[in-house]
Structure 1
């Protein structure tokens, strides 16, 4: 069973939480369609921002969007311009409800299955070898601290007429062990020979009973002020500038103590 079902869906309620956290009775279907439209719009709008997942929380008249991305600067923009523009667009989709957007930076993008699958798909679109793309992704993921990783690419590999699948794996990926934190994602690559599918499984370790998967956030970077401290000139540059301008430093005056010492020695 673990080989067939989606590993993320199989572990929801056991070690993973839902990506949409809200409750509704009569308008459940309308809100579900609204969530789908919000996610489609955000992924399309932020296609170059390495967005991995969008979590949605709702109250009566408020919608909170949690965007997990590897490039928060692209999502936020200069002085928050991109976030404000995205917020207004999402408010139109929700029918005028108040929308709050929180951007969370992913601590290690190489341990995120969607970002790894997306990177493989982008390499395939640039006509890279599907074997090389998978092996490089596996090496980066294992170097980042994963317990195991498995990749699979399907389609007309190498331009052959008959579609096939080829994958690689390293480490352990126990799909039947429900306490194992396994991240799974699917991506697509549009090539000149057709569409190629990319699947990635990443095992990030095991959890103790009662624990839930928590996504680690990257540490906050210090905020720099607009004005920077001027750098001091190097000694060799200072000497070269003096020689060019012909400025000679005045000799330093000798203190009275040193004069007395010199007189006493004589």
Structure 2
């Protein structure tokens, strides 16, 4: 039975890029990866109300650069930049190196899978019906320009005793097309009945890679060879100048018709024209005479 692969990991180095961009030796790799996980967990709790979509971590030489993608950058910066300074100080203490923080605004939060999932989980924690929250998010995404969206919720939906999974889809969401720009995000809602997980797939159209370059360069006009002259060129060369006018036509051969010469009978002059009529001989069958005894003569 086929299972769904992670859309982001499936498209890495094709149309997606890594969220942690740095290089480390084998002995340092595990420690630096654990630091990235702690930083993301800290920012998720610290910036819970800032609508954070993604955190990009880069490590130049003995430094760290963290880019926060948020739909509400004012909440991250704070009044007169106080919150971002406190955030920079805490992250420098955790990583042990100077940290620079950049903030990028998410222009369309209705098309971001992570923000859609967070919005649905917040509504579920406020005891809003899950179907209403899912359908409202789908309508907003399709209205904002998405070509397809799929939302899946699993857990004790509406507080029922047996957990189940329900999903809704609108438009098309290709899962195995590498050029498809599919955004994927998850979130968890902690309710009084238990934990409810939400997954969101958003299809934004096809892309030609991370740089969005031209896949195949069109051929130049001089490299293109026309099989036949154009219509205006044919009109400018009437008569002998038209292509194929100097060719001699060969007789067409019809298949199935005999090509051997037929002998023509000579016409003989008739008797009225003075010619001697030719005697016609007729062959008469021989009649045998039989005598009275029955013997032939």
**TM-score range for the pair, normalised by the shorter chain length:** 0.7 to 0.9
Which residue number in structure 2 is paired with residue 158 of structure 1? Answer: 158
Quote the RMSD (CA, aligned, Å): 1.6
**Partner secondary structure for residue 169 of structure 2:** strand
**Partner secondary structure for residue 138 of structure 2:** helix
Give the unaligned 5+ runs of structure 2.
214-297
Seen in structure 2, the aligned counterparts of structure 1 residues 195 and 170 have a Cα distance that, compared at 3 Å, is: same
Give the unaligned 5+ runs of structure 1.
214-266
Residues 194-214 of structure 1 deviation map (CA, whole Å, 9 limit, x = unaligned): 11111100001101256469x
Which residue number in structure 1 is paired with residue 22 of structure 2? Answer: 22
**Partner secondary structure for residue 192 of structure 1:** coil
Residues 3 and 175 in structure 1, CA contact (< 8 A), matched pair in contact too:
no
Seen in structure 2, the aligned counterparts of structure 1 residues 2 and 162 have a Cα distance that, compared at 3 Å, is: closer
Residues 221-266 of structure 1 deviation map (CA, whole Å, 9 limit, x = unaligned): xxxxxxxxxxxxxxxxxxxxxxxxxxxxxxxxxxxxxxxxxxxxxx
**Partner secondary structure for residue 168 of structure 1:** strand
Which residue number in structure 2 is paired with residue 67 of structure 1? Answer: 68
Per the TM alignment, residue 172 of structure 1 is displaced from its structure 2 partner at its CA by 0.6
Structure with greater proportional helix content: 1
Residues 149 and 170 in structure 2, CA contact (< 8 A), matched pair in contact too:
yes
What is the alpha-carbon distance in structure 2 between the residues aligned to residue 31 and residue 144 of structure 1?
38
- 1:12 partnered with 2:28: no
Which residue number in structure 2 is paired with residue 247 of structure 1? Answer: none
Which residue number in structure 2 is paired with residue 100 of structure 1? Answer: 100
Which residue number in structure 1 is paired with residue 189 of structure 2? Answer: 189
- 1:113 partnered with 2:113: yes
Per the TM alignment, residue 148 of structure 1 is displaced from its structure 2 partner at its CA by 0.1
- 1:169 partnered with 2:169: yes
What is the alpha-carbon distance in structure 2 between the residues aligned to residue 210 and residue 158 of structure 1?
41
4+ residue runs over 3 A deviation: 209-213
Residues 113 and 200 in structure 1, CA contact (< 8 A), matched pair in contact too:
yes
Residues 72-128 of structure 1 deviation map (CA, whole Å, 9 limit, x = unaligned): 000001111111000000001012x11000000001000100000010111111111
Residues 169-224 of structure 1 deviation map (CA, whole Å, 9 limit, x = unaligned): 100100010100001111111112111111100001101256469xxxxxxxxxxx
**Partner secondary structure for residue 27 of structure 1:** helix
Per the TM alignment, residue 35 of structure 1 is displaced from its structure 2 partner at its CA by 0.8
Aligned residues: 212
Which residue number in structure 2 is paired with residue 236 of structure 1? Answer: none
With the length of structure 1 as denominator, give the TM-score of the two structures. Answer: 0.77
- 1:33 partnered with 2:34: yes
**Partner secondary structure for residue 146 of structure 2:** coil
What is the alpha-carbon distance in structure 2 between the residues aligned to residue 186 and residue 210 of structure 1?
23
Residues 69 and 105 in structure 1, CA contact (< 8 A), matched pair in contact too:
yes
